[in-house]
Amino acid sequence: MIDVQRLRILRAVAEHGSFNRAAAALLLTPSAVSQHIAALERSLGHPVAVRSSRGVTLTEPGRLLVEAAETISAELDQVRHAIDRLTAPRPRLTVATFTSGGRHLLPGALDRFVAAYPEVELTLLESEPEAAVPMVRSGAADLALAYHLDGPPPVRPDRRPGLDWIPLMDDPLWLVLPSGHRLADRASLGPAELASDRWVLGCLKTEAFLRRYAELAGFELRVAASTTDYFFAQTLVGAGVGVSLVPHVSLAPSPGLVAVRVEPPRPARRIGVVLPRGRHSRPYARALTDALTATATATATATATVPETTPATEHGVRLVTRYGEPGVTRPVS
């Protein structure tokens, strides 16, 4: 039988790349770590780690064991949190969410949820997807409102077994300019047309996207300010510091700003919910996911195509349509 404690030690060796660093992290001696790994290899009948002057390299059996150790650790953490919930005086639900999603999607969903389940004690944790997904995996959160830009979602069966990704909506990105900008009257723009401008960054992920785009388009991204808050970024744009790339749900009304549609292929954040799979998914988490789905559907409908001659209002700004979809947003006068 494989010892769970020895799997934990092997996982630490893989994470830190050496017996000495793993020992320090686990508050053990290097000799104790070495003995545990040797005992694990004897019980398995195969070597799991190879030591060299450059550190420790896992063998293929060792890599398989580390993957199993991560799954087992997550399962045990989930069980521990489930037992804690069983002994709580009231049912509890813990939600991890990124900031702009929490601001724009959660309130409407929580109104529905609280009305239906007033007995549930809610806890909300502000967290970016990189931290929120492991929280669901460990049981520290019952669900996470998360997103990704390009590429696959943050949860895939082959990468994070035991979790499900429930897509909610696409949140298109807009180019936000000062109202007096030379290109403010355009229906749409490609970011390359702003190559001579300085940029205000509102998120590390949009920065990564912009840098890849700039490299492909052959221009150097000039950064005037880097923030982790889209609303702060837009105040800087309004002050004339630069231009920015902002998701639709984070657009802030201001008489000094214009939001212009990005030319195809138009980038978007893909927003979704991360849930534990199968028996670990709680009914309350599923109920809140249903409420989020309804709120996201309403939000997506509000950003969908409107008749070309009819101005619509969203977040306090007027949407002027071009080519059958929202094009340029201007403040309502």
Label residue 111 left, alpha or beta by phi (over 0 means left) and psi (-120 to 50 means alpha).
alpha
279-288 long-range contacts (CB < 8 A, ≥24 apart) are 280/78, 280/82, 280/139, 280/162, 281/164, 282/93, 282/142, 284/91, 284/93, 284/117, 284/120, 284/142, 285/93, 285/142, 285/143, 287/113, 287/116, 287/117, 288/93, 288/95, 288/109, 288/110, 288/113, 288/143
Compute the average pLDDT of residues 179-187: 95
Q: Are 261 and 187 in contact (CB under 8 A)?
A: yes
Query: Which tops the pLDDT comparison, 156 or 164?
Result: 164
Q: Are 327 and 320 in contact (CB under 8 A)?
A: yes
pLDDT at site 279: 53
Q: Are 169 and 301 in contact (CB under 8 A)?
A: no
Compute the average pLDDT of residues 8-14: 87
Checking if the pLDDT of 87 tops 80, the result is no
Checking if the pLDDT of 324 tops 60, the result is no
Confidence of residue 82 (pLDDT cuts 50, 70, 90): low
Compute the average pLDDT of residues 95-116: 93
What would the two tokens of residue 104 be? 């724009």
Confidence of residue 327 (pLDDT cuts 50, 70, 90): very low
Q: Is the dihedral of CA 286, 292, 295, 301 positive or negative?
A: negative
Q: Are 22 and 51 in contact (CB under 8 A)?
A: no
Of 113-122, 123-132, 145-154, 231-240, least confident by mean pLDDT is 145-154
Q: Are 138 and 72 in contact (CB under 8 A)?
A: no
What would the two tokens of residue 289 be? 């996911």
Query: Which tops the pLDDT comparison, 143 or 209?
Result: 143
Q: Are 34 and 40 in contact (CB under 8 A)?
A: no
255-293 pLDDT, tens per residue? 899 999 999 888 899 999 999 886 555 789 999 999 999
What would the two tokens of residue 204 be? 């590390």
pLDDT at site 317: 40
Across the strands, what pairs with 167?
272
Closest CA to 262 of 203, 333, 209: 209
pLDDT at site 330: 37
d(CA 284, CA 287) in angstroms, rounded, equals 5
Q: What is the mean pLDDT of the chain?
A: 83
The secondary structure of the chain in percent helix, strand, coil, rounded to multiples of 5, reads 45, 25, 30
Checking if the pLDDT of 53 tops 90, the result is no
Confidence of residue 85 (pLDDT cuts 50, 70, 90): low
Confidence of residue 190 (pLDDT cuts 50, 70, 90): very high
